[in-house]
A and B are shown apart, each in its own frame.
Chain A
């Protein structure tokens, strides 16, 4: 249903009706802003990045090959915009402990809350080298679907799996030191 609507509206935009782009924006604004947020962890910046992504998509609509779903193409365009945005803006230096707002991770009086740990993990992802950060971010955004992740990033599935494995190893290494966690890869 939405695929048909996308196709029709794209055709109208390409025929010169810029207003036909609005339903596309309304339909995809949530996913695009949320994907941007996972890259930068900042609501304001996420909206700016998503706006850039929509404009980029608008300018390059004629490059969409109809054999791929419009949503796949849109996510790929947006991911490219977010990746180049992240290359230009270095994330502020926040330690893993600060990211999780952990007073003393070794203290029995201050046990780590699950939400703190989760937050620390998410911030640790933003500190990964770009090629691992991108794969982890898009993989979990696509609900752990390797095929979709590969499509969005323009990589082979094998490359995605290899980078995911390496990213988990890096996260394990960094988080286990900071949060006294057992190795993540024990079970991977």
Chain B
């Protein structure tokens, strides 16, 4: 077989005929698509507001933590006090809920088959 034979074999002139209802079935799906409500837009405004609030709170928390560390001893002492002092339970709950959220997020993504 020469190169020309390959060209001939692959340059087939016979065209397959499209089924009669093909265009209709495509248009049916197009109409469904057109009727469907537009996909939900990601709520960027709320997301940005939430992220901004989180950032501000984090900065305030870090500043307060540093301040407490400077005035009241080392940061490890401050951490120890936070974990054993009057707000210990609140801190523990916060930490626990953050870890639970992370675990649920990872579990949901895994179940949904999401791979990064």
Contact = CB atoms under 8 A, between A and B. Distances in A.
B112 interface: no
A142 B75 CA distance: 71
A10 interface: no
Contacts of B1: 117, 121, 172, 175-176, 179, 181-182, 184
B111 interface: no
Nearest to B14: A34
Interface stretch (B20-28, B62-70, B83-91, B94-102): B20-28
Interface of A: 18-19, 21-22, 25-26, 29-30, 33-34, 37, 43, 46-47, 50-51, 54-55, 58-59, 117-118, 121-122, 125, 136, 140, 143-144, 168, 171-172, 175-176, 179, 181-182, 184-188
A168 B3 contact: yes
7 contacts: A25-B26, A25-B30, A37-B16, A54-B30, A121-B6, A171-B6, A172-B1
A12 to B, nearest CB: 12
